[in-house]
Amino acid sequence: MSHDDFAVEPVKGLPEAPPEGEQILWQGRPDTRALAREALNINWVIGYFAVLAAWRFISVVDLMPIGQAIGATLPFFILGAVVCALLYAIALIQARATVYTITTSRIAMRIGAALTMTINLPYKELGNAALDLRKNGTGTIALDTTGKTKISYLVLWPHARPWTFGKTQPALRCIPDAENVAQILADAAEARINMPEVTRVPTTDPVAAE
């Protein structure tokens, strides 16, 4: 029997139903391959083990038959394949556990594979948003928060802008069609920030004032 770990969510990716008037504009999650490549540096790991295997082959090819030389390099390929498989599995689990939500009022990030949490970022607590767009259309949107919002880099990882330890920036990591998502975010944030706030003040009863 299949089981949905997030079945308790009234709305996918959100811990509770949005307030009246708030609309969901977009939802998505990281692309697994892009996350493995950019957050877990799987390409560098592949290159590292390829160099080790090549170095091993070159160092022994003059000392033994070529068949034995290939056999001597085989453990490096096997170890590299195991490590890369583990990294890809981590990226897959992280991507499946993540839901990014853009609404008319905020950005919500449901993150965490072992310990799930939802981070709400109202537009009025955000500064700039930076888009890092890749050739294949995936990209990362990093969010510069105001001083009111402080989140640990370790808690956010990998959903944080890389190498920004001083002031952690939450990020929508490795999302498909990132340019279009960035435009949706920009339009929603601009509309929300420019929306006038109406506050209710107590009225004075003319009769009572007399």
**DSSP readout, the chain?**
----TTTT-SBTTBSSPPPTT--EEEEE---HHHHHHHTS-HHHHHHHHHHHHHHHHHHHTTTS-HHHHHHHHHHHHHHHHHHHHHHHHHHHHHHHH-EEEEESSEEEEEE-SSS-EEEEEEGGGEEEEEEEE-TTS-EEEEEEE-TT----HHHHTTSB-TT--SS--BEEEEETTHHHHHHHHHHHHHHHHTSPP----PPP-HHHH-
Name the residue with higher pLDDT: 147 or 99: 99
Is the pLDDT reported for residue 17 higher than 60? yes
51-79 average pLDDT score? 87
Name the residue with higher pLDDT: 8 or 207: 8
Name the residue with higher pLDDT: 48 or 205: 48
Closest of 46, 26, 142, 143 to residue 86, by C-alpha: 46
51-76 average pLDDT score? 86
Residue 4: per-residue pLDDT: 45
Is the pLDDT reported for residue 20 higher than 60? yes
pTM for the predicted model, two decimal places: 0.82
Residue 148: per-residue pLDDT: 67
Least confident of 58-72, 173-187, 192-206: 192-206
188-201 average pLDDT score? 67
Is the pLDDT reported for residue 152 higher than 70? yes
Is the pLDDT reported for residue 60 higher than 90? no
Residue 151: per-residue pLDDT: 80
* Res. 5 pLDDT band, cuts 50 70 90: very low
Name the residue with higher pLDDT: 205 or 169: 169
Is the pLDDT reported for residue 184 higher than 60? yes
Residue 137: per-residue pLDDT: 92
Is the pLDDT reported for residue 28 higher than 90? yes
* Residue listed under structure tokens 């888009």: 131
